Structure 1
Amino acid sequence: MNDRMLRAFVTCARTGSVTRTASALGYSAASISEQIRQLEVHTRQPLFRRTPGGMSLTEAGRRMVPVAHDILSRMDLLCRCEELPGHGRRHRGHHSAPLREVHAVHRTA
């Protein structure tokens, strides 16, 4: 699971459309569909009902929206670590491993 999957999920939940989500995030519709499909594989449950009129959340999807928002908010805060209290000047510009890499290391440990 990564931030791209979660952003595709919450944006699609808001817009109800893969096409509008792709436009909002700057990706192709195929890429957005794949991100959502991968997230559904990862969570082992369908998050959307696909209809000719668009996408609507399943019960599992509705439960996941606030959790995904919270995770993305926290990830955004981590990416803005200079704004955290106690962060000294000498650390500015220092970047650690991207979150995806940290998560992958954590999962294999």
Structure 2
Amino acid sequence: MGLVGTLQWFVFLAFMLVIFALCVWALVDCARRPAAAFVSAGKRTKNLWLTVTGIATVVSFLTLPPLSLSFFLGIVSAVAAIVYLVDVKPAVEPYSRRGGGGGPRGPSGGW
């Protein structure tokens, strides 16, 4: 493997490590949220999102060298994690704050 091949391998490794870290972040965040927050936000169930982010984490781990299962599967894992982090996480955050807030504006409705 020449210099270019070595550089490509390190770029690939860095890219797949970022995807793996993204998937782990999504899985841990999902696990920390209460199940009721998902229902309140209208974002399916916590178990569904735990399954999606869990599978994405396992698949992204399998795409790391030396296994390098498939680059395409790594991208699919990244998409699953990004959907959770960009769409679901912001929606469930207001319903999962400590202190028992009654919704996105707190127990009094914010008025």
TM-score scaled by structure 2? Answer: 0.30
Q: Considering only CA atoms, is the larger Rg found in Structure 1 or Structure 2?
A: 2
TM-score, normalising length from structure 1?
0.30
Report which of the two has the higher share of helix: 2
